[in-house]
Structure 1
Amino acid sequence: MKSPRRVRWVEWALLAAALAIPPINWFWMRMDPAGAHDFVGPLRQVLIYAVLALGLNIVTGFTGLLHLGMAAFMAVGAYAYGILTCEIYPFQLSFWPALGASALIGTVAGLLLGAPTMALRGDYLAIVTLGFGEIVQDVLKNLDDITQGTQGINPLPGPVVPGYAFNSQNAMPWYYLYLGILVLVVVGCRNLEWSRPGRAWLAIRVDELAARCMGIPVVRQKMLAFAAGAALAAIAGAMMASMLTSTGEPANYDFQVSILALCIVIVGGMGSITGVLVGAVAMIGFANVLLPMLAGQLQARGLVSQANVFGNPNNWKYLIFGLVLVLMMRFRPQGLLPRAGAARAAGKSP
């Protein structure tokens, strides 16, 4: 079975827009150096969160398991990348081997979490995954001999590509590299969706008992979904750490990151790969590009200041996200771009 033509056109349109953004931004910066706003740098986080949300989409969107601990696997990937690349450790791998190893370590972490929790469903599973996320933060803080505690692991090297400088002053190479990684992840998720495990996940989401009666190994398929989702979350964490040249402190991978990934999946459309991409562009692009641009314009005109907590648009983010979720659940619970058949089952919860 193939994805609908409309979905494919949306994906190609998103890719074309993503490729066109850096030249447009460069031209804008050249035409108006004083007033132009560089949005290529902030858009890198759109790509990272899209990878994270695609991992959650496998667990929650495809399989129907409510997971509130994806930030923990992102932290596992970030710290694995830091330990494997930083000069204070003996490994000192380059970007690509470290990225692959981080994904493998994230897969193992997903299996370790999935093994004892497969008998749980719904709210009980959500509570366990939420607790796992908090435990990972505490472990990373307390193992300061290995993880450097609240300081995080730094400095971390960037990728090495001949002819391109990956540093904090030049966002464009990072943008195109991460766009390429996202394209590979989307292709992998698309193939996985229509593979035998993917069809088994969708059957489990619709009716777990019926799937079990049809001979689908439910526990094994759930474990596979956990592992695949954790691997993508670990890749997102490694991408974030490489871009920031630091893992950051463990508190950077808190419950809010998991909720933000869940919001992206819900707004875009649970189970829809294209919907997740649209959700990431809408939510992270709004928070990291549009709100800072609005705040900058208002501050330039003297209408708001950093000291004005309520008047600064940068502080409206979570309020607006909450309102968007309420409106989505009320008027379009299936999301902006639901997968085929999801509109008829919009009333079902995972």
Structure 2
Amino acid sequence: MAIERRTLAWVLALVAAALLLPAIEYGIHRLPLWPWLMKWTYVAPLMPAIFAFMIVSLGLNIVTGFTGLLNLGAAAFVAIGAYTYSILTCEIYPFRLGWVLDEVIAGGRPSAHATWLTFVLGTMAAAGMGALVGAALSLPTMRLRGDYLAIVTLGFCEIVQDLLKNLDPITKGTTGINPVPHPPNLPALAAASEGSSAFIQHATGIYLYYRDATPHYLLYLLLMLGVAMLCRNLRRSRIGRSWVAVREDELAARSSGLDTARIKLSAFSWGAALCATGGALIAALVGTSIDPAYYDFQLSIIVLCAVIVGGMGSIGGVILGALVMFGFNGIVLVRLSDALAGSHTDGNVLTTPNNWKFLVYGLALVLVMRFKPEGLLPAREVRAEMRPPRQAPTVPP
């Protein structure tokens, strides 16, 4: 119970920090800082992408953290979600959702309602496609575990990437699908952000400039928190307890009458659906499905590192791990690349910060496995398993 309270406190602290980040940046930008230091303070516009990758990490946590199945194909499901959303929303396709909704709702005229309905339905369709593909992948891998399952999911990731590159009439090959419509500014959310900013500014003199930082900051934060609550409820449900039973001892779970094949299928479906949801949000945010080469094995490894570093099976830990891994990748490396832009020399890998990425990830994994193998913010049962309580030395009579 104490660990659950600590996890809840960490999650609340992260949420509070996310809500206050725009205000903190606004205060920093009013200070007389050096130009190179000012660049490091522009963090809020990059956070929606990190929120989306938190959703991807939570999806992988269902498969690897809750159920104990090593999945190296998270990038494939991110790609499936991104391309499903892009195909259904991009204007180059005649069957896009926006055209259908404009015809049905507004009689052939563009409608604001059709815009946000396109975003919602496109994201739901991406999640559904991810769930279907995840279920299909789990069927031939029911009897596989450990390294064998990891090899199959790795091969699946490569197959999806090659298909996206070669199905030019549908996926547009290596250029990707664009333009993809950005997420709309929901009127209620915009009004709530403006109203709360005005109230806080009147009471404290601090202006929370959410809409100045990015129009999608609060939307993606709320979506990430909603997915985290969904994972928490799933973990406490009957199916969540079945996932943990399979992770702890599959043979004992089968002997107790549990249908382990069905349990694995549900874990793959839920995990793939959340990974695809994150992919759809990323495509909507950047306005393109991105080059298929982006969804490679390296992306799967980064997501897996986020789950391991944060704490497998811990929702708050996975969120923290994703913040550390993707925050370093999307904020620190970008700023270092800008700072060293004029010092690159041919053959010198040390002046290219992107080359440090996996060195830092590997070092982080080594340090975590050495000093805190259960993760930065572990789940209660994982912590009890990895660090059993010390027994008092027995005194001979």
Within 5 Å, give how 1:160-175 maps onto structure 2: 160-162=184-186, 172-175=214-217
Deviation at 1:341, TM superposition (A): 2.2
Question: 1:277 is matched with which residue?
Answer: 319
Contact 1:22-1:172 at 8 Å conserved across structures: no
Question: 1:48 is matched with which residue?
Answer: 52
Deviation at 1:326, TM superposition (A): 1.4
Distance in 2 of aligned mates of 1:160 and 1:46: 19
| Deviation sequence 1:233-283 (CA, Å, 0-9, x none) | 000100110111000111110001110010000000111111101101111
Question: 1:306 is matched with which residue?
Answer: 344
Amino acid at match of 1:306: H
Distance in 1 of aligned mates of 2:246 and 2:3: 20
Deviation at 1:116, TM superposition (A): 1.1
| Deviation sequence 1:44-103 (CA, Å, 0-9, x none) | 222121111100000000000000001001000000000100001122341111011110
Distance in 2 of aligned mates of 1:189 and 1:287: 25
Distance in 1 of aligned mates of 2:132 and 2:186: 33
Structure ranking higher in helix proportion: 2
Amino acid at match of 1:137: Q
Within 5 Å, give how 1:1-350 maps onto structure 2: 4-32=4-32, 34-35=35-36, 36-37=38-39, 38-89=42-93, 90-93=95-98, 94-162=118-186, 172-294=214-336, 296=338, 305-307=343-345, 308-346=348-386
Amino acid at match of 1:55: G
| Deviation sequence 1:209-231 (CA, Å, 0-9, x none) | 11111111110010000000000
Amino acid at match of 2:56: L
Amino acid at match of 2:283: A
Deviation at 1:184, TM superposition (A): 0.4
Amino acid at match of 1:205: R
- State the number of aligned residues: 339
Q: Per the alignment, do residues 3 and 211 of structure 1 end up closer, same or farther by CA in structure 2, a change over 3 Å counting?
A: farther
Contact 1:270-1:335 at 8 Å conserved across structures: yes
Q: Per the alignment, do residues 297 and 248 of structure 1 end up closer, same or farther by CA in structure 2, a change over 3 Å counting?
A: closer
With structure 1 as the length reference, what TM-score do the two structures score? 0.91
Deviation at 1:294, TM superposition (A): 4.6
Farther off after superposition, 107-116 or 306-315? 306-315
Farther off after superposition, 228-237 or 173-182? 173-182
Distance in 2 of aligned mates of 1:27 and 1:306: 34
Contact 2:310-2:321 at 8 Å conserved across structures: yes
Deviation at 1:152, TM superposition (A): 0.5
Deviation at 1:188, TM superposition (A): 0.1
Amino acid at match of 2:320: V
Farther off after superposition, 73-82 or 43-52? 43-52
Contact 1:42-1:288 at 8 Å conserved across structures: yes
Distance in 1 of aligned mates of 2:222 and 2:2: 23
Q: List gaps (5 residues or longer) in structure 2.
A: 99-117, 191-210, 388-397
Deviation at 1:161, TM superposition (A): 2.3
Q: Per the alignment, do residues 31 and 100 of structure 1 end up closer, same or farther by CA in structure 2, a change over 3 Å counting?
A: same
Amino acid at match of 2:97: Q
With structure 2 as the length reference, what TM-score do the two structures score? 0.81
Distance in 1 of aligned mates of 2:329 and 2:11: 22
Deviation at 1:106, TM superposition (A): 0.7
| Deviation sequence 1:165-198 (CA, Å, 0-9, x none) | xxxx965222221111100000000000000000
Contact 2:182-2:286 at 8 Å conserved across structures: no
Note the aligned Cα RMSD (angstroms): 2.1
Q: List gaps (5 residues or longer) in structure 1.
A: none
